Amino acid sequence: MKKTIRIAPSILSADFARLGEQVREAEAAGADWIHVDVMDGRFVPNITMGFVVVEALRRVTRLTLDVHLMIVEPERYVERFVAAGADVVTIHAEATPHVHRALQLVRTAGARAGLAVNPATPLDRFDDVWGELDLALLMTVNPGFGGQRFIERGLERLERLAARRDAGNPEALIEVDGGVGLANAAELVGRGADVLVAGSAVFNDRASVAENLKALRDAVQG
């Protein structure tokens, strides 16, 4: 059976003056999830959005809201993101000494829990928490900005992560975030990705959201 590949447009690259419209466009064009990048200016050198934006998005889409927290001490805020309407809440392994607690808080609040790692973080950070998570997010750029170039070593890391996932929790999904586009989407799926985050590949001036999503979908379906 062919596995399901989910495409998650990252609204970080959308036109924020027309955010609702852009999300509706993505939904109509067959996006699977909406990826929401929350940045605090401490864990990463950029500040983006918070609870009120997640609440507003919840009102315009029925799609899974995939909230990626690039914030320090995420355990302080995960429940509020779930209350705001997040379906998946992903925290970073580097952002807290309390990874286990944070993942449990997400699940207890009623959402799916994700754990993310930066490009230089050893993959063994997942080993003791596979049972506590629903999603493993592999960063393939340094977090903070959209439109960066894919770090090639991510391909090999993805394969190793997929093997660890198969052993640790075969139900968990692997999400790849950063520099995903037409040039590498099929290869990422081949190496084990279940969810592809795509920001600048979906929201750009080159083509419509619908055309970009279709091209990505065609690329992964071969």
Told to check if 212 binds ligand DX5 by CB under 6 A, we report: no
Q: Does 197 bind ligand DX5 (CB under 6 A)?
A: yes
Q: Using alpha carbons, list the distances in angstroms from residue 34 to 68, 70, 131.
A: 10, 16, 25
Nearest residue to 217 (alpha-carbon basis) of 177, 189, 178, 191: 189
**DSSP secondary structure, 187-215, as one string:** HHHHTT-SEEEESTTTSSSSS-HHHHHHH
- Name residue, tokens 């795509």: 198
By beta-carbon proximity to ligand DX5, the closer residue of 102 and 176 is 176
Enumerate residues 144-203 that contact Zn ion by CB under 5 A: 177
**13-72: contacts with Zn ion (CB under 5 A):** 37, 68
114, interface contact from ligand DX5, Zn ion, none, CB < 5-8 Å by kind: none
Within 152-191, the residues that bind ligand DX5 by CB under 6 A are 177-180
Active-site annotation holds for 177? yes
Per-residue interface string for the shown chain with ligand DX5, residues 50-69, x marking contact by CB under 6 A: ------------------x-
69-to-25, 66, 134, 175 alpha-carbon distances in Å: 24, 10, 15, 14
Minimum distance of ligand DX5 from residue 167's CB (angstroms): 26
